Structure 1
Amino acid sequence: MNWRPPMNFENVLADLSPDRAWADLEHITREFPSRLAGTENARRMAEYARDELRAAGLDARLEEFLGLVSFPEPALVRVVSPVQRDIDAFTLGHSASTDGVEGELVYVGSGAESEYEGKDVRGKVTLSELSYSPARHEKAYIAWKRGSLAQIMMNWGDENNTAVPFGSMKSAWGNPTPETLEAEVPQLPCVGIARTDGLWLKRLWEQGPVRVWLRARAENGWRKLTMTAAELDTGPDREFVLLGGHMDSWFGPQATDNAAGDACILELARVFGQHRDRLQRGLAVGLWMGHETGTMVSSTRFADTNWDRLRARCVAYIQIDQPAMTGASVWNLHSTDEAQTFIIRATREVTGDMPLRWHRQAKTGDMSFFGVGLPSLAGEMSFTDEEIRRTALATLGWWHHSIHNTLDKVDRNLLGLHLRVYARWLWELLTEPVLPFEYGPVADRLLRRLTELAATRVPGIDLDGLVERAHRFKTLAERFDAQAQAWRPRLRGDQAGADAAGLLNGTMMRLARVLIPVASTVVGPYGQDRYGHSWQTQVIPALVAYSKLANLDPDSEAYQVWWVAAIRARNRVADALEQSVDIVQQALDRLDS
C-alpha cells in the first residue's frame, strides 16, 4: 500500500458540519418527497446527489438499469361477519392484485413459522403483526407457502397508533433470477392496516370466527431506475471503503428513511474529500435505488457488476440508514463478527457511556455484500427495551413507513452525533495502516456453533471433524490477531512497514471473503438469501438444515431431502475452515520469518 502521513480525527471533526447536513435533509424532504424508485422525484434525487458529490471533488455518475419495482395503491379490508366494518388499508408493494377475496380470518402473531403450528391457513386470510421478527417479506413468504389466501399486516406502535403502513413483500433479494422469480416472489394479496384496527380485529377473532373481504391493487413491473455512485481515489491498485445507503423512499417526506442518512453520506463525502491526500485508502459511495419497492435492487446489482474489484480491494462496507430518530437514546450497532470489537470501541470513543447494544449484522437493509465477503457495519440510535416492548417492537419509530415520517421525526442534535460516529468509523478505516478487524472472535463463534450442533448425532454427517478444524483455526486466528495488534503502533507513521501492513490486510480480506458467506448466508457467495430468511438469525445459517433432522423420521422423505441439504452445508463449512487455516498459517509463517 502507498504510505501516507497520519491524520488526526480532530482534523475531520473540525470540518464536519451538521448544519450543512441539515440543509441537505431539508432540501431533500422539501424538493423530492415520495422518492419511489422509477419516478421523476427519485431521478431528481439521484441527480442532486451526483451534483453534490461532484462539488465535493468525487468522480460521481448516474447508473441506469431496469429494476422490478412496485407501485402499490390504497386498499380496503371489510369485516363481513360477525359484524360489518370497513377498515382503511394500503396494498403492500409486490402484492398480487385482487378486486376482492373473502375468507376466514386466522391470527398468526409475528408471522413466523412457529406461529403456524396447529393452524391450517389454507384458503384463509392471515393476520400478522408488523415487526422484524421475521421481516415483512418473510411473513408474506411463509403465509404464501402455507396456502394462505391473503395476508393482513397490522402496523407496529402503541395501541393508539392510527398510522397505516407502507412496505414491500417481495422476498427475492434484488432483481430476481429465473429461479427466484418463481420461488421467492409470493403471489399473495397483502395489505397493511393501522395498529388500532389490527388490535380490534385480533380481539374480534379471539371471540369467535371472523370472515373478512379485502381488495388490493399494485402495479408491479420493470422500470428504469437511476442510482448515484461516486469514487474518491479508488484507483486500480488501491484498497477502498464502500459507503452506502438508499435514497428511494415511500410516499411523503420520509425524513428518517432515508433522507437523514443520505444527508450524512453527502457530508461525509465532502469532508473526506477535503482530506484525500491524507487517506491510506479510497472511498466509493453508493446511493442505492430500489430498496423500498424492489427489495435492494441497486445494491445487489452493484455487488454483481463490481464483483472483481470488491473482492480484490474493498476492505469494508458501511451502511447508513435511518439516523437521528426523535426520542432515540440507545445506540444499536450492527456488524459482521470480525468488526465487533472495532465498531464498539470506535463508537464508545465518540459517545462515551451512552447506552449501547451490539448485534450480529443481519441480512437486512442494503446488506447485499455478504456473498462478496465484505466486513459490514451499520448503526443508528433507537429506543430503550421498555419503549420497544410497549410499541410492538417499533425499533424504527411508530411513524416508520408511513405518511407521518416528517422532518420533525429527525433530531437535529442527534444528527450531529451520528455524523461524528460515522466519521470516526470511516476515519480509522481510511487512515490506519492496519485494518481493525479480529478473527479470534470469529473463530470462537464458529466453534461454539459447531460444538452445539455436533452434540446431536446424525448418521453419515461428520461434524466432529468440523469442530477439530474450528479449534485449529481459533488457535491460529488468535496468534494472528496478536501479531496484527503488535504491528499496529509500529506501522503508524512508518513507511518502512508497508509490506507488513499489506500482508496483514491482505490476510484479513482473504479471510473475510471465505468466512462471511459461510457464517452469514444460506445460499453462499454467488446468490442472495431471500429477504428476512428465517435461518438468518443463526451463525452458519445453512446448517439449520442439520438441526431439522433431529425431529424427523429417518425413513421419511423429509428426512432424506434435509439430509442432502445438511451434508452439502457441512461440506461448505469444511472447505471454508480448511482455507482459513491455510490462509492464516501462510501469513504467520511470513510474519515469523
Structure 2
Amino acid sequence: MSEAITDRSALSDVERRVVDEVSIDEPWALLEEFSELERLSGSEDERAAAEYLTGRLDAFGVEYERYDPELYISQPHDASIRTINKTFEPGIVKTVGFSASTTVEAEVEYVGTASSDLVDDGEGGPREPFAELDDLEGRIALVDGGSFSIGATTVLEEKGAAGVIAIHEHEREPHDGIATPVWGGAPPYDERDRIPDVPIANVTKHDGEILREWAESDEGLELELSTDLTTDWMACPIVEARIEGEADPENDDFLLLHGHYDSWYVGITDNATGDAGMLELARVFEEHSDQLKRDIRICWWPAHSTGRYAGSTWYTDEHALEIAERCVAQVNMDSPGAKDSAEYTDMSCWTPEAHGLVTDAIDDVAGIPSAEQFPPRAGDYSFDNIGVTGFFMLGSNIPEEIREERGYHPVGGCGGNSDAWHVSTDTLDKAGKDELLRDIRIYAVSILRVLNAELLPFDHARYADRLIDQVEEYDDAAGDAFDFGPTLDELRALRAEIESFRERAEAGEIDPETANRAITDLSRTLTRLYLVEDGQFEQDPATSRNPVPRYDPAYDFARVDGDDARFLQVQLKRAQNETVYELRQARNDLPN
C-alpha cells in the first residue's frame, strides 16, 4: 500500500521500508481478539490480553518483560437511584472509580454546571468550581454539564455533600469514568485524604433533566443513592518490550512508546487500536533494529481507567532515574484508527519543541490537517514531572463538522465518537482499517526521526517562545500587583543562547553526544516549567492546569485585595525565584 504515502521523497530509506512493511493484518487480528475481552484491570480478561501480547512478542522474537505489580485500583460494579417522593424508573445509572461504596438517602439540590473538565481526562474548566455555593448540609448534589470535574467533586464534598449525581450528555448510556484526583491511584501517605469519601453516580441526559426539574420544584426531591465498588490493591500485568538499536551500540538512550490496554467494556477505539498499533510497531522495528541508533521501549499499561494511570505511574516510579537520565521522548498511542478519523486537529497534542517533528510526519505520510493542542493532565503522561518531551496523546479525530452532523457531544477519546467513548458500544465496527494503518505509519515515521536523528529534532527556541507568550499573559493579568519581568528576561536570554547553541551544533562545532545531552536537559527544564508544579519525582494531581501552572495564581489578583493580595505576592515571588534560578542554570549548562 505504498501508494498511500503522500510524499515518499521526504522519507529516508529506512522510513520508506518501515512504512511499506507496516501491515493491517497483525493489528486487526489483535482487534478481533480484544473484541471478546472486557479488559477491566484486575480481571481475568485483562490477564488474557496480556498473555496475547506476550505470545505475539514471542512470535516476533521481541525481548520483553512482564511485571505484575499490585496497583491501587477501583472497580465500579453497580449504582442505583430510588426516588422517595416521586415515581421514577431511571435508565442506566453508573458509579465511577474511587467513589465511596455505600448508600445514602437525602434531599437533592441542583448545584449547576461544574465545568467542561471531563471526569476521566481533566481538560479545561474553571479553577474554582462552585465558589459561590452555600453549605450543602448533607444533601445530594446534582451536577449538570456533561461530566463533573474532579476539582468540583472535591469542593462539593468539602461543602458537605452526602453524594454527587452527574448528568451526562449521552441520551442512552452515561459514560464510565473515575473520580479521584490522585494521579496513579495510590496517594502518598500525606495525601490519602484526597480520595473521595462520598458516593458518586452518573445518569443520562434524559434522566438528569427529570431529576433537575423535580429538585428545583417547590416540593423538592428526595432519593436514595447506592453505589457498589471494589477498591483495593490488585495484581495488574504490565508488558514492556525492549528493542535495542544496533546501528549505534554505544548509545543507550531510548524513546518510550506507550498506551493502555485495559478498557471499559471491550474498548476497541479506547484503546485496542493503540495496543494493535504498538504491537505492529514492535514487530517492524524489531526487523529493522540494525538500522536504529537509539533503543525503543514499548509498554502496555493496565489501570489507566480504574487506577488513574496507575500502571504508567508504577513504571515511572520504578524506572525514574533511568527515565530522567536516558529517555529522550515519550509517545502516547491512545485512540488511533477510529473509523472516519481524518485529522490531527482536536485531540492530539504535544510539547511545543516537538511541533515540527510531528506535523512534518503527518504531512509526509498522510497530508491531512494537524494542529497543536496543549497537553491536558491526562493520557498516561506520567512523565511530565520528570520533564520528558511528549508527543501524541490520543490520535486522529473525526472532523468537527461530521461530529456535529452526527450529534456527537465532546469527549476525550475514540476519535471524538461520543457514541463509543467509555460506553458499551465501543465495538469492532468503530475502528477503520485504512485509518488505523495510516496512523500507525505516522507514528512510525515520527518515532524513527527521533531514534535515528544525529541531533535530536526538538525546537527549544520555539518552546521558549511559547513560554514567553504565556508568561506575558500572566504579567498582563497581574498588572501592577506583580512583575514577571525577571522571568521574561531570563526566557529571552535563554532563547538567544538556544539559537546560538543549535547553530553551532548543526555546524559540527559541538559533538553530537554533548549536544544531545544538552537538548535533553533543556527538555527537562522547559517541560517542567510548562506543565507541572510539584517535584521532579512526584506526580501533579489529575486536575485541570494551564501552561506554566506555578504562575497561574496571577489570575487571582483580579478578585483579591488587602492581605490576600500580599500573600499572593509572596507566593509568586518564591515561584519566580525558583523559575529564574532554573532558567539561569539551563543557560549556564549549555555547551560553550
Q: Which residue of 1 aligns with 2:118?
A: none
Shift of 1:125: 2.5
Shift of 1:498: 11
CA deviations over 1:364-387 (Å, ceiling 9, x no partner): 110000111110111412233345
Instruction: Go from structure 1 to structure 2 and tell me whether the alpha carbon gap of 1:307 and 1:215 turns closer, same or farther (over 3 Å shift).
Output: same
CA contact (8 A) 1:439 1:481 kept: no
- Listed as ranges, the gaps of 5+ residues in structure 2 are 1-11, 116-124
Superposition map of 1:389-400 within 5 A: 390-396=407-413, 397-398=417-418, 399-400=420-421
Instruction: Go from structure 1 to structure 2 and tell me whether the alpha carbon gap of 1:568 and 1:38 turns closer, same or farther (over 3 Å shift).
Output: farther
CA contact (8 A) 2:165 2:201 kept: yes
Shift of 1:458: 8.2
Give 2:204's match in structure 1, choosing from 189, 194, 202.
194
CA contact (8 A) 1:28 1:45 kept: yes
Q: Which residue of 2 aligns with 1:494?
A: none
Give 1:572's match in structure 2, choosing from 555, 578, 581.
578
CA distance in 2, matches of 1:152, 1:475: 52
Give 2:109's match in structure 1, choosing from 105, 112, 119.
105
CA distance in 2, matches of 1:483, 1:236: 23
Q: Which residue of 2 aligns with 1:416?
A: 437
Shift of 1:573: 1.4
- TM value normalised by structure 1: 0.87
CA distance in 1, matches of 2:451, 2:299: 17
CA contact (8 A) 1:231 1:285 kept: yes
CA distance in 2, matches of 1:193, 1:513: 42
Instruction: Go from structure 1 to structure 2 and tell me whether the alpha carbon gap of 1:425 and 1:298 turns closer, same or farther (over 3 Å shift).
Output: same
Shift of 1:571: 2.4
Give 1:553's match in structure 2, choosing from 547, 555, 561.
561
Aligned residues with identical type, % of pairs? 25
Stretch moving more, 186-195 or 85-94: 85-94
SS in 1 for 2:373: strand
Stretch moving more, 564-573 or 267-276: 564-573
Instruction: Go from structure 1 to structure 2 and tell me whether the alpha carbon gap of 1:47 and 1:562 turns closer, same or farther (over 3 Å shift).
Output: farther
Q: Which residue of 2 aligns with 1:315?
A: 328
CA deviations over 1:457-491 (Å, ceiling 9, x no partner): 5899652211211111122223334445x45xxxx
CA distance in 2, matches of 1:439, 1:293: 36
CA distance in 2, matches of 1:130, 1:266: 37
CA deviations over 1:112-139 (Å, ceiling 9, x no partner): 545524332523323335658xx75344
- Listed as ranges, the gaps of 5+ residues in structure 1 are 1-5, 488-496
Stretch moving more, 59-68 or 542-551: 542-551
Stretch moving more, 216-225 or 260-269: 216-225
Confirm or deny that 1:510 pairs with 2:521.
yes
CA distance in 1, matches of 2:379, 2:355: 19
CA contact (8 A) 1:163 1:404 kept: no
Q: Which amino acid aligns with 2:409?
A: A
CA contact (8 A) 1:337 1:442 kept: yes
Instruction: Go from structure 1 to structure 2 and tell me whether the alpha carbon gap of 1:241 and 1:475 turns closer, same or farther (over 3 Å shift).
Output: same
Instruction: Go from structure 1 to structure 2 and tell me whether the alpha carbon gap of 1:349 and 1:77 turns closer, same or farther (over 3 Å shift).
Output: same
Q: Which residue of 1 aligns with 2:122?
A: none
Shift of 1:427: 1.5
Give 1:164's match in structure 2, choosing from 174, 177, 188.
174
Shift of 1:271: 0.2
Confirm or deny that 1:245 pairs with 2:259.
yes
Shift of 1:409: 1.2
Q: Which residue of 1 aligns with 2:21?
A: 15
Q: Which residue of 1 aligns with 2:355?
A: 340
CA distance in 1, matches of 2:188, 2:376: 22
Give 1:381's match in structure 2, choosing from 396, 404, 415.
396
Q: Which residue of 2 aligns with 1:69?
A: 73
CA contact (8 A) 1:242 1:318 kept: yes
Instruction: Go from structure 1 to structure 2 and tell me whether the alpha carbon gap of 1:414 and 1:473 turns closer, same or farther (over 3 Å shift).
Output: same
Shift of 1:84: 4.2
Instruction: Go from structure 1 to structure 2 and tell me whether the alpha carbon gap of 1:138 and 1:119 turns closer, same or farther (over 3 Å shift).
Output: closer
Stretch moving more, 455-464 or 506-515: 455-464
CA deviations over 1:474-532 (Å, ceiling 9, x no partner): 22223334445x45xxxxxxxxx69722222111101111221121012131211111x
CA distance in 1, matches of 2:57, 2:336: 20
Aligned length: 556
CA contact (8 A) 1:89 1:194 kept: yes
Q: Which amino acid aligns with 2:173?
A: A
SS in 1 for 2:547: coil
Instruction: Go from structure 1 to structure 2 and tell me whether the alpha carbon gap of 1:451 and 1:151 turns closer, same or farther (over 3 Å shift).
Output: same
Q: Which amino acid aligns with 2:514?
A: L
Superposition map of 1:53-68 within 5 A: 53-68=57-72
Instruction: Go from structure 1 to structure 2 and tell me whether the alpha carbon gap of 1:151 and 1:263 turns closer, same or farther (over 3 Å shift).
Output: same
Q: CA RMSD in A?
A: 2.6
Q: Which residue of 1 aligns with 2:243?
A: 232
Q: Which amino acid aligns with 2:319?
A: N
Shift of 1:24: 1.3
Q: Which amino acid aligns with 1:221?
A: D
CA distance in 1, matches of 2:504, 2:157: 51
SS in 2 for 1:55: helix
CA contact (8 A) 1:71 1:220 kept: yes
Q: Which amino acid aligns with 1:124?
A: R
Confirm or deny that 1:443 pairs with 2:443.
no
